[in-house]
Amino acid sequence: MVEDSDQFYCETCDREVAESEVIRTKTMGSLDPDKWQTFCCPECGNRLQTVFVGEE
Chain residues binding Zn ion by CB under 5 A are 10, 12-13, 41, 43-44, 46
Nearer to Zn ion (CB atom), residue 41 or residue 51: 41
Give the residue with the Cβ less far from Zn ion, 45 or 54: 45
What's the min distance (Å) between Cβ of 28 and Zn ion? 18
d(CA 31, CA 12): 25
Closest listed residue to residue 37, CA positions, set 8, 16, 4, 14:
8
Smaller CB separation from Zn ion, 15 or 26: 15
End-to-end CA distance of the chain: 9
